[in-house]
Amino acid sequence: MSAPLAVILDFNGTLSDDEPLLDLLFRDALAEEAGIEMTSADYFERFAGLSDPEIADSALRAGGIDPSPALVERILRAKVDGYLRAVEEEPPITNAATEFVEVLADRIPVAIASGAFREEVELVLELAGIRDRFDAIVCIDDVEAGKPDPEGYLLARERMNEASGSTAPAADILAIEDSAAGVAAAHGAGMRCAAVAGDARAGEAADFTIDRLSASTAEWLLRG
């Protein structure tokens, strides 16, 4: 494995340890706004890794309900509001993940490509004190299609290279993901992809796996 010239991180479930929270919030929002009782198994097996709008849309269709724009918006607003309250009380980025970002950012460009909304991502990064360590942050607000479409990774690479003055080609950029949809998006953008251990489907699709984000993991990646 050669050392990457840049790293692009997924956010939910990868940098931010928040998938159980997302599961709870989406289930609550779907129950309250649409009367759909989604299970945790449904969330993790069918929807985790998709963008927030796609989760709402797909879950409504699976429940036999027309995903009208107004209904999707109500579900997403309830989920986002709940997320913002929850992370203020318990920030979801661990100290180890913060150190991972800091070690990388001292040496190479670092970006985020996320299917979450910017207001969520920005708040969590500010709470962790690492907002300024990223050369680019691409969220679902910035793209037409979420993962597994590669648009977010392609845009993150473009903005990261522009901000950092880098010319890193896609093949020399490492993406880090926690879902099969995310791995497919990174590969579709021509990047190598490491999966954070957890989802077996992501691990099987990725180029390699890592146990956790930490300073030692960052140093290992940088050594190649």
Q: What is the pLDDT of residue 110?
A: 98
Confidence of residue 208 (pLDDT cuts 50, 70, 90): very high
* pTM score, whole prediction: 0.94
Q: Does the pLDDT of residue 129 top 90, yes or no? A: yes
Q: List, for residues 37-62, the tens digit of each pLDDT value.
A: 999 999 999 998 899 999 999 999 99
- State the CB neighbour count (10 A cutoff) for residue 126: 12
Give the Cα separation of 208 and 220 in Å (integer): 13
Specify the pLDDT at position 174: 98
The predicted structure's pLDDT at residue 200: 85
CB contact at 8 A, 47 and 35: no
pLDDT of residue 199: 80
Which two three-digit tokens encode residue 202?
């992501």
